Structure 1
Amino acid sequence: MIEISLTPIRRYWLASLVLLLLPVAGYAEDSVWKPVPLGDAASWPAWRGPLGDGVSQAKNLPTHWSSSENLAWKTSLNGWGDSTPAVVGDHIFLTLQNEANELRLLRLDANTGQIERNILVDTAETPREAPQRSSQKFHNLHNMASPSPVVSGDYVVVHFGNGLLATYTLEGEEVWRHNLQSEYGEYSIWWGHANSPVIFKGMVISVCMQDSLADLRQEPIESYVVAHDLKTGKVRWFTPRMPDGSAEELDAYTTPLLVQKDGQTQIVIMGGNALDAYDPYTGKQLWHLPNLVGGRTVTGPVLGDGNIFTTRGMRKPLLAVKLADFRGEVPAEAIEWTVEKTTPDTPSPVFANGMLFTVTDDGIANCYDAKTGQQHWRERLGGNFKASPVVADGKIYFLNLDGKCTVVAVKPKYEEIAVNEINDTTIASPAIANGKLFIRGKNALYCIGK
């Protein structure tokens, strides 16, 4: 049975909220926080798409496919990774690591799947063994190519688990590179660095959230947020991010979420027992909601109807926070509701039509009323999941590890539309662009389209 905890709007909470709110010029009562567009609505320029929320405006996507139906093309990959492809215009950008430990950036033709560029970015061996709480080692389900590439204008940014951050032109010419481990210290995250960067107003914004080892050493290891100039690579700002906690609960694999309202923009970050936000122009922390203790955090935050939805990490409670013009420490009463059980460890939630959809790592899909947290339905899809669900044209695409994709209607009553399979291991989250669905397998990239 699902357990839901609702937070009433108490008098003392209203009084404290007045102190937290800062008036905004031209504020309208019906204005709400919305995702910042990361690119053209028909593209998929970053990990979770054009709004960073797993939702596409595409219409008439295929709901059925097989090796003989609606498979536009399939391209074999000499290497693998868990990064989601970035699809912009006629180009697909994809990162991988091969058996020679080469870290590569590929550019493919989105219409044919032909590999047009195959760029050696760096070389690095993926550490699979390391003493506990010393340096990072990688889980067997991923490697150095877990962070997803990001496309903005004439540039593509790539990041790898060895700390390499680089910008290339769309034609494949290197513009600049940094190594965040070399510059800010070795990663101490337990299971391998995997955060994807985001781009805002000509800045590449990256996060590192990791075990501080503060109980083991005199100088704790920093977690941080850093912004580089997209065109020059110059550091625009650097902000330490050191929430309270210890050991693995400080690890997070999440990607920042850009939100905006009435001319304000914020970078919202979840991980390390805290949800907080930063000014993307300066790196200044604007507010923080502490004490969200749960464990290492993989599921990233999403925005819907002015609420941030996230989990407290490691299958701990799913929660909704109603965004306001917070400043400083945000009290726990800002949490609108929580769901205590059957929450995801890895796949991020997706919001659509006033509902929040999740899938647990062991294949239980849930649909909740986004305002109240009340459950509409729960269904066991079968298999294990790491990919985050995506939404388009009133349908949700749930992709499990074995290449099985269950297509479900965005409705408060469970309605299965189709179940499709490809013969591959599918860990990466899908991308949707140009009316097609792109599925990255361990062996190949698949384009599903009519």
Structure 2
Amino acid sequence: MLRTLHDHDCSFRKLDWFATQFRTAGMLVILMATCIVQAKAADQWPGFRGLDLNATVPAAKMPASLDRDAAKWTYDLKQYDVGSMAIQDGTIYTLASASDGQAVRLIALDLQTGTQKWEQTLPQAKNHLHSRNTPASSTPATDADFVYVAHSDREHTWVRCFDHQGNLIWKRDLGLAQSQHGFGTSPTVHGDVVLLNFSQQAEQLREGKPGTSKFIALQRSTGKTQWETPLASTRVCYGLPVVRDGVVYGANTGNGIFALSLETGKLLWDLPVFSKRCVSTAMIADDLVMGTSGSGGGGNHLVAVRVPKNANEQPTEVYRIERGAPYVPTSIIHQGLLFMIDDRGIASCYKAKSGDELWKQRIGGSFGASPVLLGNQLLMINLSGEATVVEASEQGKVDQKIDLGGPVGATPAYADGLLLLRVGSELRCHQ
């Protein structure tokens, strides 16, 4: 049978229609998969500053009210501490100090109800601390199988691993933690290793021998050392590392901004750019790694370093910010913008790529907790418990202010549509 040109045209149009439907269906599948991944990710907050340590949940929404009376539930932790919370599969994990100061408690709570599931007491001796530090200043880290905690009384530094029912799986004593301000770093988990920036003090000691700094990777299931890399020992530093494409990025006084191989621990490069202590966590913005350095007396600065593209290149300083940079709080990078709150209550916004200032305004109060971003809003809480919600934009409009009614030194946590705030000795949950 002869086919006309019209018949061919109809056939081509049918094929085109089927192709369009196939492409549309494929795009829907990809979109649904992306949404599922994002939803699952939003259900977890596996340690300090959440997923990828960036403290951002773009799909989230700020609770309508942060008043205590509007809380979904509250839980009495008995003590004020500055350690934050981890959330894994509907369970909250946090550390709280014992009333006599001779132990820290690992507490597991149900995220939806605040009901305690279990508690483990971890003994430690009393230790000299900075006036703003507390015995439970570290934040647990979690994965699908375990929860990991680090704590120290100076003579001993422990890393412990528990399953999600509270059973001890392994523990390590890493020995002396030399510091004039006390312990304060937290573990992080990446793949099959637990990472710890075990920084030690070698300068300006009040007593004791100089410490030796190192970066440690432990096998998550056994606690055995995977690798250990010596770092410069100057002033004790507390910032956590960030990991991208198999590289661990960190910051300290002696090495400045540095990069290690996640697989072997080899020091790939470092660039000494800091003159003071590093407390905040390193951050990544495209090909830039950022860190801050400072002191209680000021002189804070943020430095952005360009990552070498290959082994033949060297890291280079791109810019530094010396006014309004934080010492303790870690900043937020979102949609090409760098949002900061310094220790004296000055909030600011810069272009992350260039360091160009967009706005700066006084929020008020002194800060220790890091901000978090929910949706397009930044939540900043000062040490007195005054919360400020700021629009995460090039304008920085203040949306609301509220007094939480108690001191806040711990960074908030968020998962499954619920915001956790540690106010005084109380843990609050807002929806």
| Counterpart residue type for residue 322 of structure 1 | R
Q: Residues 44 and 211 of structure 1: is their aligned pair in 2 closer, same or farther, counting only changes over 3 Å?
A: same
Q: Residues 106 and 215 of structure 1: is their aligned pair in 2 closer, same or farther, counting only changes over 3 Å?
A: closer
Q: Retained in 2: the 8 A contact 1:150–1:156?
A: yes
**Which is further off, 316-325 or 139-148?**
316-325
Distance in 2, Cα, partners of 1:411 & 1:57:
13
Q: Retained in 2: the 8 A contact 1:288–1:329?
A: no
2:53 is matched with 52
Identity %: 26
Match 2:247 to one of 266, 272, 287? 266
1:242 is matched with 232
- Deviation, structure 1 residue 346: 0.8
Distance in 2, Cα, partners of 1:140 & 1:58:
37
| Counterpart residue type for residue 66 of structure 1 | D
Q: Residues 329 and 167 of structure 1: is their aligned pair in 2 closer, same or farther, counting only changes over 3 Å?
A: farther
- Deviation, structure 1 residue 424: 1.6
TM-superposition CA deviations, 1:232-259 (whole Å, max 9, x none): 111111111126xx4xxx3211111111
| Counterpart residue type for residue 155 of structure 1 | F
Distance in 2, Cα, partners of 1:164 & 1:78:
23
- Deviation, structure 1 residue 225: 0.8
Q: Secondary structure at the match of 1:40?
A: helix
Match 2:344 to one of 355, 362, 371? 362
Q: Residues 197 and 340 of structure 1: is their aligned pair in 2 closer, same or farther, counting only changes over 3 Å?
A: same
Q: Retained in 2: the 8 A contact 1:83–1:147?
A: yes
Please, what is the CA RMSD of the aligned residues?
2.3
Distance in 1, Cα, partners of 2:326 & 2:332:
12
Q: Retained in 1: the 8 A contact 2:293–2:327?
A: no
- Deviation, structure 1 residue 79: 2.7
| Counterpart residue type for residue 390 of structure 1 | V
Q: Retained in 1: the 8 A contact 2:301–2:322?
A: yes
Match 2:280 to one of 287, 299, 308? 299
**Which is further off, 60-69 or 41-50?**
60-69
- Deviation, structure 1 residue 40: 2.8
- Deviation, structure 1 residue 197: 1.1
Structure 1 residue 198 and structure 2 residue 179: aligned?
Answer: no
Structure 1 residue 230 and structure 2 residue 220: aligned?
Answer: yes
- Deviation, structure 1 residue 140: 1.8
Q: Retained in 2: the 8 A contact 1:376–1:412?
A: yes
1:178 is matched with 172
Structure 1 residue 141 and structure 2 residue 126: aligned?
Answer: no
Q: Retained in 2: the 8 A contact 1:91–1:108?
A: yes
- Deviation, structure 1 residue 212: 2.4
Match 1:318 to one of 297, 302, 323? 302
Q: Secondary structure at the match of 1:391?
A: strand
Q: Residues 178 and 321 of structure 1: is their aligned pair in 2 closer, same or farther, counting only changes over 3 Å?
A: same
Q: Secondary structure at the match of 1:367?
A: strand
Q: Secondary structure at the match of 2:52?
A: coil
The TM-score normalised by the length of structure 1 is: 0.81
- Deviation, structure 1 residue 322: 2.2
Q: Residues 90 and 316 of structure 1: is their aligned pair in 2 closer, same or farther, counting only changes over 3 Å?
A: same
Match 1:353 to one of 309, 328, 335? 335
Q: Secondary structure at the match of 2:51?
A: coil
Q: Residues 172 and 286 of structure 1: is their aligned pair in 2 closer, same or farther, counting only changes over 3 Å?
A: same
1:115 is matched with 116
TM-superposition CA deviations, 1:148-188 (whole Å, max 9, x none): 1000111000111331110000000000111212xxxx222
Distance in 1, Cα, partners of 2:313 & 2:122:
41
Q: Secondary structure at the match of 2:250?
A: strand
Q: Which has the higher helix share?
A: 2
| Counterpart residue type for residue 303 of structure 2 | L
Q: Secondary structure at the match of 1:445?
A: strand
Distance in 1, Cα, partners of 2:168 & 2:231:
30
| Counterpart residue type for residue 242 of structure 1 | A
Distance in 1, Cα, partners of 2:87 & 2:204:
41
> Number of aligned pairs?
385
Distance in 2, Cα, partners of 1:295 & 1:97:
29
Distance in 2, Cα, partners of 1:108 & 1:207:
27
1:87 is matched with 87
Distance in 2, Cα, partners of 1:353 & 1:55:
11
Q: Retained in 2: the 8 A contact 1:437–1:447?
A: yes
- Deviation, structure 1 residue 216: 11
